[in-house]
Amino acid sequence: MVVKSAEFITSIANAKDLSNFDILPQFAFVGRSNVGKSSLLNALVQRNKLAKTSSTPGRTRLLNIFEVNKKIHFVDLPGYGFAKASKSEQQNWQHLIGDYFENSKQLKHVFVLVDCRHKPSEKDEQMLKYLYIYQIPFTIIATKIDKLSKNELRNNLNMLASSLGIGVANIIAVSSSKKIGMEKVWQVIDEKIEQV
Ligand SMILES: Nc1nc2c(ncn2[C@@H]2O[C@H](COP(=O)(O)OP(=O)(O)OP(=O)(O)O)[C@@H](O)[C@H]2O)c(=O)[nH]1
Ligand SMILES: [Mg+2]
């Protein structure tokens, strides 16, 4: 898809408001806080400041919806595993995400982001279990690959694949800052839209 327009639509804090925006095919980005969800979204639409990014984990606290080409919605989900989050914040997070996965009729695909430098966390594994249970199709994206050498990256991708129990060919490796791997993510999105 050639991006012609990309705009912020709304931020959602309450799951009950989600149904108002359940109108276009949706692609959601999940992963632990600071993994690079908002940066990836910006890189995909080639707009540096569309989704707010920050080196402070926990920047995205709400579910943010962006519209691309008036055709699809990107959903930037708040990150999990944010160390400083209070119990009630964590509960709000679970509630919002849970309601979203259970009720969204337009959610076509979830991109699960993991940092290419780290082993997937327990929370990542929980997220995958969740997606299996709700039968939501997903793709794993390894982020920040500019931080590793080629050899390190190859090793780490193999490590990620085996700990997640998937084939290494099923992981898309990206760098949002160097704009690597964007066309592979778009390919997944384009294929999904064709099926709509
Ligand atoms: N080197 C490098 N840094 C990146 C890349 N992607 C993101 N970052 C940095 O990682 C930090 C977090 O990025 P965000 O996109 O805000 O992460 P997020 O997953 O949206 O974080 P939350 O909103 O807190 O859940 C920022 O300082 C980014 O500049 C990348 O591809 N390469
Ligand atoms: Mg974010």
Ligand 1 centroid to Cα of residue 174, in Å, is 12
Q: Which CATH number fits the domain that encloses residue 56?
A: 3.40.50.300
Q: Residue 57 has what pLDDT?
A: 67
Task: Report the pocket of ligand 1 as residue ranges, CB < 6 Å.
Answer: 31, 33-39, 53-55, 57-60, 78-79, 143-144, 146-147, 175-177
Is the pTM higher than 0.85? The answer reads yes
Whether the per-residue pLDDT at 79 is higher than 80: the answer is yes
Is 1 part of a structural domain of the chain? no
Pick the ligand that lies closest to the CA of residue 32.
Answer: 1
Q: Which domain holds residue 111?
A: 6-195
Is 97 part of a structural domain of the chain? yes
Is 61 part of a structural domain of the chain? yes
CA–CA distances in Å: residue 193 to residues 61, 134, 139, 163:
28, 20, 15, 30
Distance CA 7, CA 45 (A): 10
Count of domains forming the chain: 1
List, as own/partner pairs, every contact residues 128-136 make where C-beta atoms lie below 8 angstroms and the sequence separation is at least 24, other chains included: 128/164, 130/101, 131/101, 134/101, 134/102, 136/101, 136/107, 136/109, 136/110
Q: Where are the beta strands (DSSP E) in 32-127?
A: 63-68, 72-76, 107-115
Is 39 part of a structural domain of the chain? yes
Is 65 part of a structural domain of the chain? yes
Distance CA 111, CA 30 (A): 6
Band the pLDDT of 83: cuts 50, 70, 90.
Answer: low
Mean pLDDT confidence for 16-32: 91
Tell me how far the alpha carbon of residue 11 is from its chain's centroid. Answer: 16
Candidate from 42-46, 127-131, 184-188 with smallest mean pLDDT: 127-131
CA–CA distances in Å: residue 65 to residues 23, 70, 126, 168:
12, 12, 24, 30
Is 189 part of a structural domain of the chain? yes
DSSP 82: -
Is 71 part of a structural domain of the chain? yes
Q: Residue 56 has what pLDDT?
A: 73
Atom of ligand 1 nearest to the CA of 55: 27
Mean pLDDT confidence for 143-168: 97
Is 180 part of a structural domain of the chain? yes
